[in-house]
Structure 1
Amino acid sequence: MDYEIFNLDDVTLQSGVTLPSAFLAYKTYGQLNKQKDNVILYPTAFGDQHVQNEWLIGSGMALDPEKYFIIVPNLLGNGLSSSPSNTPPPFDRAHFPQVTIYDNVKFQHRLVTETFGIQKIALVVGWSMGGIQAFQWGASYPEMVERIAPFAGVSKSWPHTFVVLDGMKAALMAAARFDSSKLNQLTSADMRAVGRVYGGWGVSHAFYREKLYRELGFESLEDFISGVWEDSFMNMDPHNVLAMLWTGQHADISANPTYNGDFDKALRSIKALACIMPGSTDLFCTAEDNEYEAKLMPNAVYNPIPSVWGHFAGRGINRIDNQFIDDNLKHLLARSTNE
């Protein structure tokens, strides 16, 4: 096992449901310094686990474990932290309770304060749903978080984002004939259709038009669809996916007692120095949505990734996009919070 477990014990979720013996899986890179001020938090995205974040961590990079103590907490529902696939009855599989981004961040806050005694975080960074968590950290703990850098991630599930995720959910509901009592019969094979739905959103029109899948070693469109989208989703547990889809659909940094749904107020309350990096051709976490958000944040720089890789400009696959993200993170980390 290449990760550690933080036991949360019995936790009351935002929904009011108590999840017994909950836990966060996490991995750390580098060493925490004596001042405990070299901390970077890097939450995982939908469907990802900590290993999928490692492309952005390395010697000489912005997230350099020789300089920083990097904590990668796994999203609840991703199969490593408390999830439908690893929770005993009565909260197993389709019975897993609804978990919010707010819940995730609250539990991550417990991890960093209770396990490590950390009071300041130099940077919270994340892709996609990891980006939403970065926004939530900035809104929930504005005095603690010095910088945030969401890339290809928005601060709430805007209506179109909700609909995209709903299409993925519908593919699984269709496999159960839209009968919620049959959801426990779902298998990984039912994830094939979910992968095909997501295939239309993960990358851009230009990516497909220019046949950039050939750069990944796929000769035909069909090979790419089956070899990337189908295969990656069929490796996921369908109940974990349903849980994470719910989390994503109901993400909103203002949906909590602090802001009571006042989204603009939540954005204005983020004091952190921020670098907002949407993919310029992202089809469902759009640059326009991020632009709106950045304008309301007092210390935000809006810097889209110029890429035809759509949402996957932030996935760590395309070298030029990776360099853009790393360069911007280095610039952000070099900025003093006393500016």
Structure 2
Amino acid sequence: MSAPASPPLAASNYQIFRLPDFTLKCGVVVPELQLAYKTYGNLNRDRSNVVLYPTSYGAQHMDIEWLIGGPDSILDSTRYFIVIPNMLGNGLSTSPSNSPFPPGHPFPFISHVDNVIAQRRMLAEVFGITRLAMAYGWSMGAQQALHWGALFPDSVERIAAVCTSARTSPHNQVFLEGLRATLTTDPNFVEGYFRTHPEKGLRAFGRVYAGWALSQAFYREHVYLSLGYTSLEDFLVRDWEASFLRRDANNLLSMLQTWLHSDISDNDVFQGDLDKALASITAKTFIIPGQTDLYFTPEDSLIEARKMPNAEFRPIPSIWGHRAGNPSKHLQDQLFLKAAVADLLNDS
């Protein structure tokens, strides 16, 4: 008998910014778009200490706030006012799981353009913030940071883009299409919508993800044993399956669609011209790929970094693959990111 699904994710102590009659990039008007966010630290008098830290795929703010703390943390909330906006589709902001769209009705396509426009309005209307000291993000969070840099270049001083891309590459799309095909083979997926919690599909989804998110060397060296797992199977069940069993499958599909079509040039400003969009990012930018990331490869990142006028390429020398950019369990990678952020913030 299979184990019961873990309880849904829960979060507290966050705020909701409401945007009535919000027109998405796809043309659908949402009667009331909701952006969930949480803040850390204090906003200074001239509002010059703002760090925006958007969430990544499947994550909510409490999943990524581990790197926020005092001076010894990657992001220092004693010095900076840090804002985590929850990505649309993640279950706290407007998502399939909490939207007014009835079950079975297609949830509209969400673009990162929608995310950053909602974030910009929240910052301006709630806090009077019009400029960021830094946009920091990992994976899909960093896709949003790069969208900020391209669309609002005068509003961002610095960008730390960790394990990400300005445009989702064809190989990354293959990875994502494989995930979607795996998840939607679950029998609970009917007419484009999961009617009940698809435990079988989510377990399979987690196992496929595990092969991409960590490197061959990570598995060859059995690093998972040092993390308290007794075997590879134990790691796959208690880490990867358990992680995705907590998620809402319809939300995962929505965010996956956003990721598939992520492209900083796919808008009226750049009209598909990626080189022009990259050249528009004038913020001091650190492009920080994982040296062994299998789907945001350092080779792809270097190509994009070279087309930005003020970018520095700083790959993480790690066997943790994509997870090197979110190293809650690996001190060496934490120290690398801490040093990179310190260098970026101290750069005038």
Q: TM-score range by the shorter chain?
A: over 0.9
- 8 Å CA contact 1:94–1:239 kept in 2: the answer is no
Normalised by the length of structure 1, the TM-score is 0.96
Report what 1:187 is aligned to. Answer: 197
Offset, 1:175: 1.5
Report what 1:74 is aligned to. Answer: 86
Report what 1:263 is aligned to. Answer: 274
- 8 Å CA contact 2:288–2:315 kept in 1: the answer is yes
Could you list the per-position Cα deviations for residues 275-322 of structure 1 after superposition, in whole angstroms to 9, with x for gaps in the alignment? 111000000011111101110001100000000000000122211001
Equivalent of 1:309 in 310, 313, 320 = 320
Offset, 1:182: 5.4
Normalised by the length of structure 2, the TM-score is 0.93
Could you list the per-position Cα deviations for residues 71-99 of structure 1 after superposition, in whole angstroms to 9, with x for gaps in the alignment? 00000010110111111233x57621110
**Amino acid across the alignment from 1:224:** F
- 8 Å CA contact 1:188–1:236 kept in 2: the answer is no
Report what 1:211 is aligned to. Answer: 222
Equivalent of 1:34 in 25, 45, 48 = 45
Question: Does residue 1:326 correspond to 2:344, yes or no?
Answer: no
- 8 Å CA contact 2:106–2:192 kept in 1: the answer is no
- Structure 2 counterparts to residues 75-90 of structure 1, below 5 A: 75-90=87-102
Q: 1:159 to 1:327 in 2, by over 3 A?
A: same
What is the rounded CA distance, in whole Å, between the counterparts of 2:315 and 2:321 in structure 1? 11
Q: 1:257 to 1:176 in 2, by over 3 A?
A: farther
**Amino acid across the alignment from 1:134:** A
- 8 Å CA contact 1:84–1:239 kept in 2: the answer is yes
Equivalent of 1:139 in 136, 147, 150 = 150
- Structure 2 counterparts to residues 204-283 of structure 1, below 5 A: 204-283=215-294
Q: 1:240 to 1:222 in 2, by over 3 A?
A: same
Equivalent of 2:138 in 127, 140, 146 = 127
- SS of 2:241's equivalent in the other structure is helix
**Amino acid across the alignment from 1:75:** M
Report what 1:64 is aligned to. Answer: 76
- SS of 1:10's equivalent in the other structure is strand
Cα RMSD after superposing both structures: 1.4
- SS of 1:143's equivalent in the other structure is helix
Of 199-208 and 49-58, deviating more is: 49-58
Instruction: List runs of 5+ in structure 2 lacking aligned partners.
Output: 1-11
What is the rounded CA distance, in whole Å, between the counterparts of 1:25 and 1:93 in structure 2? 24
- SS of 2:180's equivalent in the other structure is helix
**Amino acid across the alignment from 1:162:** Q
Report what 2:184 is aligned to. Answer: 173
What is the rounded CA distance, in whole Å, between the counterparts of 1:26 and 1:77 in structure 2? 13
Report what 1:294 is aligned to. Answer: 305
- SS of 2:76's equivalent in the other structure is coil
The alignment of Structure 1 onto Structure 2 pairs a total of residues equal to 334
Instruction: List runs of 5+ in structure 1 lacking aligned partners.
Output: none
Identity %: 49
Report what 1:110 is aligned to. Answer: 121
What is the rounded CA distance, in whole Å, between the counterparts of 2:192 and 2:314 in structure 1? 45
What is the rounded CA distance, in whole Å, between the counterparts of 2:95 and 2:104 in structure 1? 8
What is the rounded CA distance, in whole Å, between the counterparts of 1:238 and 1:265 in structure 2? 36
